[in-house]
Every structure is written in C-alpha cells, then in structure tokens.
Chain A
C-alpha cells in the first residue's frame, strides 16, 4: 500500500464524520481528546476491515448470541402482574436533582416536528 493510500485509509473517519458521531453520542470533548479518539477509531477500523477478507456466504445465518435457546432451555415467561416497588425512595434518592417526587432537568429545547 502506498503512503498516500494508507493515509487516506487512516482518515476514513474524517473530522466531519467524527463531529457528527460526537453529536449523535451526546458527548462534549476537548480538542486534544477529540484528536486522540479519532486517531484510535481510525486504527480500530483498520482491524475491523479484516472482516472484509472473509468469505461469508450470504446464506450464513447470523448469531446474535452464541448459545441457542430451545423451548426446554428458555425460561418460562413471568406472569404479567403488577408488583409494588419497595425501593422507590432509594431509587429517587439517586437522582441528581429532585423536587418532591419529581426529577428536575434543565429546559428541554423546543423542536418543531417536520
């Protein structure tokens, strides 16, 4: 691979794509952090590209978890019944800001649906 080609490859995640991902991920980064993360993402993509080298028959089923669940090994569904939550106060006590039994958040920006 030529140096230029390699450099192009390393830049698969350009600054613009990276900024879009950061926006989607709801993260705020310092510039130094952004540079490091983008560099690492591009090197990880290089490893991921190994997947392109594998001959995968399109008929190969996907595995979403390794072990198949049969009727015998799948746990039965729980009855659909309401149960009291004894820990409601403990759970509410974890919220960073509350007003009585409400959780307080900053203003939610107004968005017009297209």
Chain B
C-alpha cells in the first residue's frame, strides 16, 4: 500500500491544510480510503464466529461518524477560504475511544448495556479537539467499560487486531485507539489510562501514548471506571503530535472539579531543547517483576522479556550519549504491590460507578415482562453486562463489604501512599536521586496472541504491572516506541515524571526520537499496511 495523506504526522496535515496545499476534505477522503482498506468487518454485538480473514484486519471502529467528519472537514475548508483561523488541529483525523460521550453519536463503552445509547452531550476533551479543527472520523473499540488489557472483553466483536500482526492483540483498553493510529485510520486518538490503558496499547502497536497527571485533563463526559485513577490522554504516531494534542485537551474545566487549576504550558515550545544535564533513572524493580505462575497462580519473580530490557538499556545509553546523566539502581520497592492494590481500589470504584446502569433512564432494559422492578434490574444487568463488569462489581462489593473486607480497602489506599512515596523519593530535588524522569519498560512482553490470556482475569491484570504504579501515584507517564523484537513486534519504553511534568517527559522522549531517527526499525511498517 502506498502511503498517503493519512500517514502524515498530524502537524504536517495541519500545515498543508492551513497553507491550502490540500483540503481538509482531501485528508478525510484519504483517511476513509485507508479505513476501507484495512478495517475489515465492523465489530458488532451479534454472535461472533471468528473467520480467518478477520485476522488480517484492524476492526477498530464501532461507529464511523463520516457524516460528522465531512461536515467538520468542510467547515475547516470554508473557514480557510473565508480567511478565518480554522484552529490548531485543522483537518486532523481523530478517533475517539468509545468511552467518551460525543453528542449525537452512539457512545457504547464497548458494552451491550449501552449499545444504543446516544450521548446528549460532548466530553470536554473531545469538545476542545473539535473546536480546534480536529475531524472526528469515529468511535473506536475498547475493553468493555475499559476493563481489560487486550480489547477482547468488548461486547463488540471481532476484537481489534494489532496492525503489526492482526493475530495478536493491540493491548487495552485503548487498543483500537492505538491500532487505528498505527494503521493510519486516524492521526490522533483520545484514549484513557486507569492502569496503563493508554501506554500499554501504545507500546504494543508501536505508537506514542501519554497518560497525563491525574487532573491535567478533564474527565467530564468520560464514562467513569475508577474515578480516582481515570486519565484521558493522547495517542499519536510521534512525540510532537502527542505534545500538540495535550496542549489542546489539558486545563481546568468548570464541569470537572478534579481538573486542576494548573496553567497549561506550550508543550511544543521546548520540545527540542535536548537532555543535556537531565537525570534519568533506571530501577531494578521495573526489570525484575512478580507475576502469577501458569496454573498455580502463585507469584514468582522473573525478568521482563530480555529484548525489552535491552531496549530500555539501549534507550538509556542513547540519552546518555545526548548528554543526560543516567542513574542506576533507583529503588522503587512498592512497584510489586501495584496490581494487588489496584485489584482493590479500582474494583470498589468500578462497582460504585456501575450501579447507575439499571435499565431505567437510558441504555438497555430487559425487554420481556418481569415480576417487579428488582427482577428488571437483575435481568437487565445480567444480560447487559459482560463478564468483566460483573467480576469488577462483585469484587468491589466483596472487598468493601464490612463483614468480608478484612481492612483490604484501607490497606490498599495506604499502599497507594507507599507507591507514591517511591516516586516522591526518586524525584525529590534534594534527595539522593533527583530524577527528572524514570525510564522503564512499558510492558513486560510484546503483544500476545488473541486468546492467549483472555479468560484468566489475574494474568490479564498483570499485563499492567509496569504501568499501574504511575496511576496509583497520579504522576504522568509517556510510552514511546523503542524498537522491534525478533518477531517484528513493537517494543515500548516509558518515561515517568513528577506531577505536571508532561513537558519534560515529552522533551526527553523527543530527544530519544531525534537520536534514533535514522535507525532501521523506524522504517518498518505495520503488516496490515503491507497486505491490504
């Protein structure tokens, strides 16, 4: 497949559209053509029989909003013709994770219970992106209510395929966001990260994913999972595009009291200032990890995949060459408790947030006659929710029920404090490490095969063990591509920094990107683009 307008960086699309080298409609046409070429059959809730041909395609979009996109693209072109400013994102094709409400569109959360829900309002980050001239091409698939790390738990199937090898998962929960961006079906996607749901799929799909500081981006209009952890953020093909997008979506919002009143810097301004003198840390606690053993479920210590560890150390070397100071052996001893604490905190919050789905005011209602309201609730929720929401509700009720809880919830919240204190010590400007950022692998493995983990809810959760500590602590994390493994699958590394240090993380990542610009792996393209 030849590359087209839809493969350009978002900034280059804006430049061409604004200088009228091409129109926003041209960009949209190229994007829709790409979608037709790589997408395959649309994910649906009807009974799903996998076919071999499904494993060659991406299946990212639950809903294509091509009518909305065309109107937006035409508005950009009209504004330009009239000499008006069409916005900083003029003409950029955007895919929105289907966990965000967008007025007038189906907003499903990947769940049967919201299959026919048409949002009556638009989420703040989407509103800001559209107001800046972005063109929303559609709503993309995810794990049901974002509950997963592979996208296989969606009620809408086929599940998305990884563009680098569609027999493998794109990661999750923003899996179709990362897949769509990697395959050129959108230049940017808006995802969410609660335990790693932006960074892990970005790593699996060879794109850039940024989990901002908690409170950096408004959650208004985001269908809630775990309200103390959920962070909307950008998925893009390069660091500069992620910086461009974050600048638009970040900032206080009168409709979200947790959106912090912290000024938004110009993330593009110092992006190429380099890393000379910056302190980048490596931690043994991110190289040796505790994971459940196959069969027994007993935790055992093992190393992350050797090729991934090598990529992290290579990245540290590249940054050192560029003038950074690399600090080895930064202790992050509570990293291993991230998943156990997350099992408690996120489930309690999920159970609370999922009570609202009851078949009364919106969404699915069990259609047959019932004895009374309670039976309607039980049947509606029994049929509307898939296994993941059910599991999370039940665990949330168990660990928060007075007669069962054994202090788990309070304990998990204290462990969260310990995890945050690991970061505080590493970043303390008067401490022994004084890091500007911690550099770690984003994931312990590269993308796994469809069906390899799904069904084992413990093992699936452990896919997030390197990403979840930043969510507990609220600090920002940025995953970038850092090579391919011997099977040709993308490897991601992440930079973690202090609160509101997104500008610094982007700058470090951009330095890595510039220093590795000429490397052979950067020329490789996802397989789905070769076979389409």
Contact = CB atoms under 8 A, between A and B. Distances in A.
Interface string A71-108: 01111111000000001001101111100000101111
Given A29-B382, A37-B390, A51-B341, A63 B417 contact: yes
A25 B120 contact: no
A62 to B, nearest CB: 4
Contacts of A78: 254
A91 B120 contact: yes
A114 to B, nearest CB: 18
B416 A48 contact: no
B309 interface: no
26 contacts: A21-B397, A25-B393, A36-B387, A40-B457, A41-B391, A41-B395, A43-B457, A43-B458, A45-B398, A46-B297, A47-B292, A47-B299, A47-B339, A50-B336, A56-B415, A61-B417, A62-B414, A63-B420, A66-B474, A67-B260, A67-B499, A91-B362, A96-B364, A96-B365, A106-B370, A109-B373
Nearest to A92: B361
B387 A47 contact: no
Nearest to A22: B394
Contact of A63 (B252, B359, B413, B458): B413
A27 B382 contact: yes
Contacts of A94: 117-118, 120, 361-363
Interface in B344-387: 344, 351, 358-365, 370-379, 381-383, 385, 387
B387 A33 contact: yes
B262 interface: yes
Contact of A48 (B252, B340, B370, B371): B340
A60 to B, nearest CB: 5
A8 interface: no
A47 B290 CA distance: 11
Given A62-B417, A63-B416, A63-B417, A26 B358 contact: yes
Contacts of A73: 215, 260-262
A106 B361 contact: no
A37 B393 CA distance: 11
A36 B461 CA distance: 17
